[in-house]
Amino acid sequence: MSMDRVAWSSLYNITRASSGSKPFSKATLKRVFGFARPHRGKLIAFVLLSIAMAVLAVATPVLAGQVVDAIIAGVGADVVIGLAALIAVVAVAEAGLGLVTRWLSSTIGEGVIVDLRTKVFDHVQKMPIAFFTRTRTGALVSRLNNDVIGAQSAFAGTLSGVVSNVVALALTLAVMLGKSWLVTVLAMILLPIFLIPARRMGSKLADLRREAAEHNAAMGTQMTERFSAPGATLVKLFGRPDEESREFAVRAGRVRDIGVRTAMLQFTFVTALTLVSALALALVYGLGGWLALSGQLAAGDVVVLALLLTRLYAPLTALSNARVEIMSALVSFERVFEILDLKPLIQQKPDAVDVPPGPVSVEFDDVRFAYPSADKVSLASLEDVSTLDTRGGEEVLHGVSFRVEPGQTVALVGSSGAGKSTIAQLLSRLYDVDSGAVRLGGSVPGSGLDVRDVTFDSMRATLGMVTQDGHLFHESIASNLRLARPDATEEDMWDVLRQARLESMIRALPDGLDTVVGERGYRLSGGERQRLTIARLLIAQPRVVILDEATAALDSTNEAAVQAALGAALEGRTAVVIAHRLSTIRAADMILVVEDGAIVERGTHAALLEAEGRYAELYRTQFAEATAVVKEAVPEY
């Protein structure tokens, strides 16, 4: 290894050292070894081959010295040629071992990445909705990318580096001391001159890189928010493009300035260390040459000492920072384990059962519920806060009880924040009740299956839900439909699109079912997007349908089309419908009025109007508002 490469390697490692470290965690190490266990065969081979490469690296300078001694001694050409051939064999062997060790390190490292990413991805999918409502998506993705890769470096580089450097250092020192203890000791005295500036420079570079990372993260956040369809719309409507541009330019300019300063510091550092290496080589050649001329040292030994000099500095500087590299990897592991240690609030019981076939009833039995506090579902580091919000735990549903018979439609109405959507989320088991029970099936009250005793697959097959935002993935129409039923045929998809009043529109598209809908479905109109989510519900063929404000954001024309599609979705199915517009639920078999987390009225549309209670008040208020809007829209002559 050249002194330039030693300088760059030292600078990189010591820069990382400046980021700080903390004591080793035995628990973390134990878990790390758990991930290493499936790769232990390759790890052992990797370590052994790294040791062999370290031996070969020291062998080459020794052979080079023997060539010089042979030439000076005037031995036969066959001896010199034989030594040269041996050097060539060592070089070929070193190259071959390098390829094998590189393959092993890549295989082990990438294998660890797969294991970690898969485990974290699977674990995150099990987290409750409350986790996702609090977590920054970017921070979570960073754990799956940057931290997993940082953890992988422990296997791919640090492990072999420590082993090979210890062997290389021991062999190099043994050979150099054997050749000349005086030259070796003087070379070691120069080591502080090599390391001290590196550590001081590394601290400055670490601070600069940290600042650059913060600015880059801020620019990334700004771009992510502004370049999404809703974000771009908001900026165009209410934003100040010039100010946005100036803010971005300031950050980008600071990153530019940091880049220039970093480049100059690095160049200055490498130049200084190259100078130190030149001085060290001058010492070896000067002192070694003098010893050789005085007969105290062979000429070949001078060459060996000079060639081994860099092989002495390289492992010393690497090992001086080995602890930092290990700690950096452990920090990444701990950040990954931090996610894995969050226990999902919603878990499937080992003895969970499937919902029996046939029509399904829905029953809420004295349900009480409070949203979980942040410490139960989130991490401060994922929310980008110093401490988690301590609020939560206040009961939002107070003894809610009702029953929906198979094939019936029950509508939930009430003020915003009354608890209607919470009831829908408990039914679909996005959250679990604190007391009472939510049951599916059963011919009489209390005889159904508690949703906490039902398998996740059976829950997904039994219940279907359409929300107000009508979320779609940035994929084709076919892919969004097959999310609900992967084995659906094109005929199945056209059938549900026909029921959702979308067939003619999609057939007119150039790519038909292969049309990509865009992020969150923004290439479709609001009504089309909502009807496509209804088609996705229909293709799943659920026995229980939950509609949470499915038409709240639509105009009258789109609402009519969606209502027609909802008619097909509700036909023959048990349904729980949440509606802000009371005109959409007049035909429900039963209407429940929810206020302050409790059911205050229940009955049919006609009966509730006649009762002159809260429902009648809500209905008359909406009717009066609708009439006023119509009058304002009609010009007077």
pLDDT in tens, 209-227: 767 767 776 777 677 767 7
Distances (CA, A) of 501 to 150, 507, 510: 50, 12, 18
Same domain, 331 and 401: no
Q: Judge whether residue 89 has pLDDT over 80.
A: yes
Q: What CATH number does the domain containing 545 carry?
A: 3.40.50.300
Q: How far is CA 268 from CA 95, 193, 263, 272, 441, in A?
A: 32, 15, 9, 6, 76
Q: Provide long-range contacts, Cβ within 8 A and 24+ apart, for 454-460.
A: 454/352, 454/353, 454/354, 454/355, 454/429, 455/348, 455/352, 455/353, 455/354, 456/348, 456/352, 457/354, 458/352, 458/353, 458/354, 458/355, 459/355, 459/428, 459/429
Nearest-angstrom CA–CA distance, 410 and 588: 6
Measured CA to CA, the distance from residue 414 to residue 622 in angstroms comes to 12
Residue with tokens 């519920």: 369
Residue 560 lies in a domain: yes
Tell me the Ramachandran region of residue 404: left when phi exceeds 0, alpha when psi lies from -120 to 50, beta otherwise.
beta
Average pLDDT over residues 294-298: 83
- CA dist., res. 495 & res. 282, Å (int): 85
Q: Check if the beta carbon of residue 385 is closer than 8 Å to that of residue 430.
A: no
Indicate whether 217 and 327 sit together in one domain. Answer: yes
CA diameter of the chain: 123
Average pLDDT over residues 396-414: 91
Average of pLDDT values for 563-580? 77
- Please tell me the predicted confidence (pLDDT) of residue 450: 93
- 338-374 residues labelled b (16+ CB within 10 A) or e (exposed): ebeebeebbebeeebeebeeeebbbbbbebebbbbbb
At a CB cut-off of 8 Å and minimum separation 6, what does 501 contact?
531, 561, 564, 565
Judge if 302 and 367 occupy the same domain: no
User: In this predicted structure, what is the pLDDT of residue 522?
Assistant: 67
Structural domain contains residue 354: no
Residue 521 CA to residue 399 CA, distance in Å, equals 38
Q: Answer yes or no: do 566 and 506 share one domain.
A: yes
Clarify whether residues 416 and 318 are in a common domain.
no
Is 381 within the bounds of a domain? no
CA distance 470 to 558: 14
Instruction: Return the amino acid letter for 475.
Output: E
Q: Would 353 be classed as within a structural domain?
A: no
141 and 275 co-located in one domain = yes
The one-letter code for the residue type at 374 is A
439 SS3 class: strand
CATH, residue 28: 1.20.1560.10
Average of per-residue pLDDT across 170-199: 74
In order, the DSSP letters of 6-65 are: HHHHHHHHHHHHTT------HHHHHHHHHHHGGGHHHHHHHHHHHHHHHHHHHHHHHHHH
Q: Is residue 384 part of a domain?
A: no
pLDDT at 634 over 60: no
Q: Are residues 65 and 8 in the same domain?
A: yes
* Residue 274: inside a domain: yes
Given a cut of 90, is residue 452 above it in pLDDT?
A: yes
Query: pLDDT tens digit string along 498-542?
Result: 888 888 888 988 888 888 887 666 677 777 888 888 888 888 888
Query: String of b and e for 75-91 (b: at least 16 CB within 10 Å)?
Result: eeeeeeeebeeebeebe
Q: Are 254 and 215 in contact (CB under 8 A)?
A: yes
| pLDDT of 189 over the 70 cut | yes
Residue 392: the pLDDT is 63
Percentage of the chain with pLDDT > 70?
77
Helix or strand run (H / E) with residue 218 = helix 191-227
Same domain, 168 and 25: yes
The answer to whether residues 610 and 502 belong to one domain is: yes
* CB contact set of 356 (below 8 Å; sequence gap of 6+): 441, 449
Please give the residue range of the domain that contains residue 539.
Answer: 362-376+391-632
Give residue 630's pLDDT: 39
Q: For 493-509, write each residue's pLDDT tens digit.
A: 998 888 888 888 889 88
Average pLDDT score over residue span 579-600? 83
Amino acid sitting at position 191: L
With cut-offs at 50, 70 and 90, classify the pLDDT of residue 273.
low
424 and 529 part of one domain: yes
Residue 382 domain-assigned (yes or no): no
Could you tell me if 194 and 226 lie in one domain? Answer: yes
**Cα 102 to chain center, whole Å?**
27
Identify whether the C-beta of residue 594 lies closer than 8 Å to the C-beta of residue 413: yes
Mean pLDDT (the chain) is 78
Q: Is the pLDDT of residue 21 over 50?
A: no
Residue 351 within a domain: no
Helices 322-340 and 77-125 pack at an angle, to 10 degrees, of 20
469/572 same-domain check: yes
Decide which of 400 and 483 is more confident.
400
Average pLDDT over residues 572-583: 79
Alpha carbon distance 546, 524 (integer Å)? 23
Q: In a 3-state reduction of DSSP, which class is residue 549?
A: coil
For residue 369, name the pLDDT band (cuts at 50, 70, 90): very high
Q: Give the chain's domain count.
A: 2
Residues 579, 468: contact at Cβ < 8 Å? no
